[in-house]
Chains A and B, each alone.
Chain A
Amino acid sequence: MSIVDKIVRGTLKIDQGQPVLLKKIPYMMYPARSMAVLIQKIADQLDDDALFQLGYDAGMLAGKEFIDKLGWLGKSLLHRKKSLFRMFEVMGFGKIDVKYWNANKDMVVIHMTDHPVIEHAIKLYGKKEKSSLFYRGIYSAHTHFEFGIENCKFVETQSQTKGAKFFEWSFNYFDTKQKKKISSADE
């Protein structure tokens, strides 16, 4: 078992039937497919902006709890991105590949794959799936709150829902009208 695996296995425990991160933060665990069903049903009630915002608000609260309850430990984890992203992957949050990150300029590009809820959503609903939009909101909030990309609101430039190999989510990196990288990304 790698050191990263050991760290991941040590951080997450099942306490009285429900997962707890680092003995302090409770999580809800659920079958991913049923979550895809739930999100799609929620999407019947909300427009896309509201669904994104729902995810964003959830992500902001979770991010705040992460920092508030873990304190210095939480902040130190943010510098161990490899371990943190591995933990997120095991927790069913997908595999994140950071392609560009500049907190000074609030610019970021990530590729995301292997998200179990979104995978099931695509199988069940095809191009009408809404789970990726919901999680884009959640990830935007976490990227703002814990990872220092101020007011991050991800835009999607590639989508597995539409057949791409990964989801490409970015903030302040592409000029979406001209469909090219903005010049300050190279500075």
Chain B
Amino acid sequence: MKEDGVIKELISKGILDSTTRNRLQILDAIDMSMYGGTSWPLTIQTIGKKTGKDGVFDLGLAMGTDAAEELAAAIKKKKLFLPESVLLVDNLIQAAGFGVVEIDVIKRKKEIVLYVNNNAMLKLAYQMYGEKSLTDWFYAGVYTGMIRVLLGVPKCKLRVQKKKKKGTVEYVYTYKG
């Protein structure tokens, strides 16, 4: 499916809609909110000065885990009415607002590779803080939480790998059990 296809599909099926209590929701159950793009890396970086990258990872893990649990509960109620494509974990990560990713699950979930195809927050953070950006560790936590709950890999703990490419950075997250 094309990168933003799942979002379009959610909107066209009324799953992402602003007419419920005048706020964005997905699956008629999950309230969505927003945060300024450049403000997000600033907030993470400020916290990270105090907590270090492990603390930032834990914050991301808390957020990702809760998001995944809320999605899982909503899906359980509505599974019969959702298109199959929406139920793929990488599409759910996108629907939750955490970027466009592709997940490779290898050796019966003992190895996982998550490729970030597009995450505006990671890009902005790199523009603002370069190699010192802690936002990549925050998302390591977020994606770890999502994978633990939605893919059923409880011991997953993703690590950040970066590849520099023509003035930008590509992010890959890996786990080996």
What are the residues of chain B within 8 A of A115 when measuring CB–CB?
33
A29/B97 in contact, CB under 8 A: yes
Q: When A28-B121, A34-B66, A54-B46 are in contact, do A116 and B39 touch as well, CB less than 8 Å?
A: no
What are the residues of chain A within 8 A of B118 when measuring CB–CB?
16-18
B99/A61 in contact, CB under 8 A: no
Contact for B66 among A25, A31, A57, A58, CB less than 8 A: A31
What are the residues of chain B within 8 A of A17 when measuring CB–CB?
3-4, 6-7, 94, 97, 99-100, 118
Interface string of B52-68 (1 = CB under 8 A from A): 00010011001110110
Contact for B97 among A28, A65, A95, CB less than 8 A: A28
Interface string of A16-60 (1 = CB under 8 A from B): 111100000111111111110110011001100000001001110
What are the residues of chain A within 8 A of B100 when measuring CB–CB?
16-17
The CA of A56 and the CA of B62, in the complex, are separated in Å by: 23
What are the residues of chain A within 8 A of B66 when measuring CB–CB?
31, 33-34, 37
The CA of A65 and the CA of B50, in the complex, are separated in Å by: 26
B34/A116 in contact, CB under 8 A: no
> Is B171 engaged at the interface, CB distance under 8 Å to the other chain?
no
Contact for B35 among A30, A45, A57, A89, CB less than 8 A: A30
A45/B33 in contact, CB under 8 A: no
B96/A30 in contact, CB under 8 A: yes
Interface string of B112-152 (1 = CB under 8 A from A): 00000011110010000000000000000000000000000
A32/B33 in contact, CB under 8 A: yes
A92/B120 in contact, CB under 8 A: no
What are the residues of chain A within 8 A of B63 when measuring CB–CB?
30, 34-35, 37-38
Number of interface residues of B (CB under 8 A): 50
> Is A149 engaged at the interface, CB distance under 8 Å to the other chain?
no
Q: When A14-B4, A54-B43 are in contact, do A35 and B33 touch as well, CB less than 8 Å?
A: yes
B31/A31 in contact, CB under 8 A: yes
> Is B37 engaged at the interface, CB distance under 8 Å to the other chain?
yes
What are the residues of chain A within 8 A of B3 when measuring CB–CB?
16-17
Whole-angstrom distance between the Cβ of A154 and the nearest chain B Cβ: 18
> Is A70 engaged at the interface, CB distance under 8 Å to the other chain?
no
Q: List 6 A-B contacts (CB under 8 A).
A: A26-B120, A30-B98, A31-B71, A65-B38, A89-B22, A120-B31
Q: Which residues of A contact B (CB under 8 A)?
A: 8-9, 14-19, 25-35, 37-38, 41-42, 45-46, 54, 57-59, 61-62, 65, 86, 89-93, 95, 114-117, 119-120
